């Protein structure tokens, strides 16, 4: 049975003056924000794969937790630049240009900038003609890193003297003239493919940077099950609280959880 | 190579070069010398901080601060990018441009080398360029990817080879894979001749800040509420956290046992469980770690029962599995539900964007920089896991920079020590005034040539 999961990606960011909501296709955002009433019932909530956090509500809780972990300070503090500092910037006050004034006045956060970038990319996606090409000239096969022994025998046979090429020199450090006589032994011959040509390298180097979201590391393809830990003591979280779904390790920690940390009074 | 259109004779750079590695947590700044050394680099907190008494400290002023209780920070750099120039300007003014500033300089007679994190959104780059040239009016400026400056180090020397010869000094390393695990995130950047291969840059959204916050959360549940004590938590993290070779074994060893059958502490458990004595700002005492003393726990409980008796008791907490479950996130982000692979797999993801012919050279030249690499056990675990994932034919060599925090700055200092190399990357203010900021953005991204 295929495992279908709804990725909760409801990022609506409020900026002074406007709100940006990246909308990918139809209805996905809405589905992520408002789970239907039936899905929240306990029977369906735990009906999925055992041990997997399946409901949207739980995924949103995880996202919220991650956002909390990413904060600089727990409270919302406003720290204004001290005015004494602002006035006497050391040198004679000169006129600031319009650009600089706009930049200094800007109260945008990184989340705003990120939403801007995503909105721009989505726009380029819809109207590819007006967009600047973000795809590099050279498309590399993004094979999974685990397909490690995919080098063909053809590549290996052409290997030969390619050992001496520039890129390998850095790795093996043979440039200092200390080439071992054992390097010529057929059994010890290295199995590495040859270094790419200069044109390939130039194409690679001139490729434009990826967008912020595209550069994010991908999730594991093998789908390693998530490990859960006891909220109270940090040991393996083998049992789930029936009310709120938090993981604990045993009865003792379950008691501590019920006393102070269980967020749902009525299941 | 295309012929250069600008006449090199026209571009004369001043002698003074300022290098700023502008991180989210600290700013590494200093002037270049002909013999670059780490002593020239100042590490300055890149923040405005407000303490309990509502006093606001700016950047380097924090050195004089004694009370870090409930201190709150405002950081102009988010995720490695300068987002809020209002606050950043206050810190820069305080550091570089006020009369008795630490690194006082006259921007009109100074070259600036500034670093940026990979994958910066274009508007932020433009903002940065405009502030540098229009507000500060630096004589010349280059904005380069932070990790790429590390290519100017003597990499082979780090792997146990002889120091390079002097005439090679300014040549960047041919192939280098830089893992930069800093405050906001950990990035993997492959470099070829000192130039980043942008399509293969990957980022894991776990950095020192997230680790500190996670430790703070765990301790707030298990010990005291520390939600306002980020500064203290960071010190605790730096003092106690370690990356274990065998996570499961360590977790079993720190298990308290069931209530009916309380486990007796094993002799090797003593290595893991420690006490951390919290700082006492009234007595100007710093916090510190010491071996766990079970008898002390009983004593403390007793003293708590007869409250107020005797003199002031030091406050401490006992830390067990928090010590290794926190930095474990770098290797298993799934433990907090983050849908990303760990740092070793991120390295392999980055390599998958490169032709296989480059893999051996990249895997044999991995340099680790950034504060997280100082966590005990981090390097050996990283090496073990990359070795397991990488093709068996490839040699895996991995080294930590001698000073992982100042490493990027030092790389920039090596670049600045060579006038020819410096001239090749810098853009002067005249050029900017003539060509504008769009052109400048293209030059720094490599899309336009001068």
- H-helix or E-strand spanning residue A247: strand A247-248
Both tokens of B315, joined, read: 């406050």
Identify which of B384, B225, B227, B249 has the alpha carbon closest to the alpha carbon of residue B321: B249
B260 touches chain A (CB under 8 A): no
Give me the pLDDT at residue A163, please. Answer: 36
- Does any CB of chain A come closer than 8 Å to the CB of residue B325? yes
B318 interfaces chain A, CB cutoff of 8 Å: no
Q: Say which of B97, B365, B446 has its CB closest to residue A170.
A: B365
pLDDT digits (tens, 9 = 90+) for A31-56: 444 444 444 444 444 444 444 556 78
Nearest Cα of chain A lies from the Cα of B253 at a distance, in angstroms, of 10
* Residue B64 token pair: 């004089």
Per the prediction, chain A carries an average pLDDT of 66
pLDDT band at A96 (very low <50, low <70, confident <90, very high): confident
Residues of chain A positioned with their CB less than 8 A from the CB of B390: 148
The burial of B394, by beta-carbon neighbours within 10 Å (0-12 exposed, 13-18 middle, 19 or more buried), is given as buried
Enumerate residues 205 to 234 of chain A having a beta carbon within 8 A of any beta carbon in chain B. 205-212, 214-220, 224, 226-227, 229, 231-234
Q: Report the residue from B86, B360, B365 with minimal CB separation from A192.
A: B360
Q: Which residues of B touch A99 (CB under 8 A)?
A: 130, 134
* Pairs of CB atoms within 8 A across A/B: 283
Burial class from Cβ neighbours inside 10 Å (0-12, 13-18, 19+) for residue A264 reads: exposed
More confidently predicted of B386 and A20: B386
Length of chain A equals 267
Chain A residue with the nearest C-alpha to that of B443: A206
CB atoms within 10 A of CB B256: 17
Interface contact A192-B393, CB threshold 8 A? yes
Burial group, residue A246, by CB count within 10 angstroms (0-12, 13-18, 19+): buried
Contacts of B357 in chain A (CB under 8 A): 167, 192-196
Closest B-chain CA to A76? B72
Mean pLDDT of each 10-residue bin along chain B, 450 residues long? 50 85 91 86 89 86 83 89 90 85 86 91 90 89 90 84 69 88 93 89 92 92 85 90 89 73 59 83 79 69 51 75 91 88 92 88 92 92 92 89 91 88 87 87 79
Nearest to A70 among B58, B210, B217 (CB): B210
Q: Does A177 touch chain B (CB under 8 A)?
A: no
Residue of A nearest to B106 (CA): A91
B222 touches chain A (CB under 8 A): yes
Above 70 in pLDDT, residue A19? no
How is residue A169 written in tokens?
């020199």
Mean pLDDT of A143-147: 43
Q: Cβ of A236 and B85 within 8 Å?
A: no
Out of B98, B134, B230, the one facing A73 most closely (by C-beta) is B230
Nearest-by-Cβ selection for B56 from A82, A100, A201: A82
CB contacts of B325 in chain A (<8 Å) are 229, 234
Give the separation between CA A264 and CA A244, rounded to whole angstroms: 6
B28 touches chain A (CB under 8 A): no
- Chain B contact for A149, CB < 8 A? yes
Question: At A162, is the pLDDT very low, low, confident or very high (cuts 50, 70, 90)?
Answer: very low
B113 vs A115, B12, B42, B138, B406, CA distance in Å? 29, 16, 15, 10, 14
Is B71:B52 a contact under the CB 8 Å cutoff? yes
Contact: A236, B251; criterion CB under 8 Å? yes
| Among B335, B340, B445, beta carbon nearest to A217 | B340
Give residue-wise pLDDT tens across range A187-234: 666 566 777 788 888 888 888 888 888 888 888 887 778 888 998 888
Parallel, antiparallel, or unpaired for β B175-181 and B366-369? parallel
Across the interface, which of B198, B364, B392 has its CB nearest the CB of A210? B198
Burial class (CB in 10 A: 0-12, 13-18, 19+), B141: buried
pTM of the predicted structure, to 2 decimals:
0.81
ipTM of this complex prediction, to 2 decimal places: 0.80
Q: Does B131 lie at the interface with A, CB-CB under 8 angstroms?
A: yes
Cβ pair A145:B348 closer than 8 A: yes
């Amino acid at each position: 049975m295929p495992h279908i999961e709804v990725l909760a990606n409801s990022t609506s960011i409020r900026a002074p003056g406007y709100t940006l909501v990246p909308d990918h296709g139809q209805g996905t955002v809405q589905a992520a924000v408002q789970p239907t009433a039936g899905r929240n019932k306990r029977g369906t909530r735990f009906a999925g794969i055992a041990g997997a956090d399946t409901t949207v509500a739980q995924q949103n809780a995880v996202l919220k937790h991650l956002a909390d972990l990413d904060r600089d300070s727990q409270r919302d503090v406003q720290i204004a630049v001290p005015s004494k500092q602002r006035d006497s910037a050391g040198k004679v006050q000169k006129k600031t240009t319009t650009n600089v004034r706009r930049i200094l006045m800007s109260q945008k956060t990184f989340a705003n900038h990120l939403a801007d970038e995503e909105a721009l990319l989505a726009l380029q996606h819809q109207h590819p003609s007006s967009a600047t090409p973000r795809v590099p000239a050279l498309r590399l096969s993004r094979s999974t890193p685990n397909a490690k022994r995919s080098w063909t025998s053809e590549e290996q046979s052409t290997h030969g003297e390619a050992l001496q090429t520039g890129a390998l020199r850095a790795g093996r450090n043979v440039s200092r003239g200390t080439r071992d006589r054992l390097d010529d032994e057929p059994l010890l011959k290295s199995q590495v493919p040859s270094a790419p040509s200069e044109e390939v390298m130039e194409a690679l180097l001139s490729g434009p940077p990826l967008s912020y979201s595209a550069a994010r590391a991908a999730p594991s393809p093998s789908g390693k099950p998530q490990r859960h830990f006891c909220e109270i003591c940090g040991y393996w979280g083998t049992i789930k609280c029936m009310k709120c779904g938090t993981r604990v390790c045993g009865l003792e920690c379950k008691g501590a959880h019920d006393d102070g940390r269980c967020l749902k009074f009525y299941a | 190579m295309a012929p250069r259109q600008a006449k090199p004779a026209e571009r004369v750079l001043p002698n003074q070069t300022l290098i700023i590695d502008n991180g989210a947590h600290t700013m590494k700044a200093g002037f270049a010398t002909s013999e670059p050394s780490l002593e020239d680099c100042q590490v300055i907190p890149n923040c405005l901080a407000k303490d309990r008494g509502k006093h606001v400290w700016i950047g380097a002023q924090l050195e004089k601060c004694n009370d870090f209780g409930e201190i709150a920070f405002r950081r102009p750099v988010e995720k490695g990018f300068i987002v809020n120039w209002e606050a950043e300007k206050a810190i820069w003014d305080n550091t570089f441009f006020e009369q008795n500033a630490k690194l006082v300089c006259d921007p009109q007679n100074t070259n600036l080398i500034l670093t940026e994190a990979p994958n910066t959104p274009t508007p932020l780059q433009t903002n940065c360029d405009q502030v540098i040239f229009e507000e500060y009016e630096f004589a010349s400026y280059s904005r380069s990817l932070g990790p790429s400056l590390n290519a100017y180090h003597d990499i082979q020397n780090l792997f146990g080879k002889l120091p390079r010869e002097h005439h090679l000094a300014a040549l960047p390393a041919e192939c280098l894979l830089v893992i930069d695990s800093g405050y906001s995130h950990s990035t993997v950047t492959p470099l070829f001749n000192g130039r980043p291969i942008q399509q293969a840059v990957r980022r894991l959204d776990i950095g020192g800040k997230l680790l500190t916050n996670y430790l703070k959360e765990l301790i707030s549940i298990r010990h005291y509420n520390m939600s306002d004590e980020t500064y203290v938590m960071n010190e605790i993290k730096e003092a106690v956290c370690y990356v274990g070779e065998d996570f499961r074994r360590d977790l079993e060893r720190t298990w308290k046992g069931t209530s009916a059958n309380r486990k007796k502490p094993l002799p090797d458990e003593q290595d893991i469980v420690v006490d951390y004595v919290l700082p006492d700002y009234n007595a100007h005492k710093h916090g510190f770690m010491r071996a766990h003393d079970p008898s002390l726990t009983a004593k403390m409980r007793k003293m708590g029962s007869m409250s107020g008796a005797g003199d002031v008791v030091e406050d401490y907490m006992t830390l067990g599995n928090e010590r290794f479950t926190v930095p474990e996130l770098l290797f298993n982000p799934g433990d907090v539900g983050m849908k990303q692979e760990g740092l070793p797999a991120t390295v392999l993801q980055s390599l998958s964007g490169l032709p296989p012919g480059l893999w051996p050279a990249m895997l044999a030249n991995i340099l680790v920089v950034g504060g997280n690499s100082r966590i005990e056990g981090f390097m050996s675990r990283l090496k073990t896991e990359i070795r397991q994932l990488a093709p068996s034919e490839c040699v895996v060599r991995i080294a930590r920079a001698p000073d992982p925090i100042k490493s990027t700055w030092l790389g920039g200092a090596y670049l600045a020590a060579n006038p020819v190399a410096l001239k090749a990357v810098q853009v002067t203010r005249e050029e900017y005034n003539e060509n504008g900021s769009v052109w400048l953005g293209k030059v720094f991204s490599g899309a336009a040539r001068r």
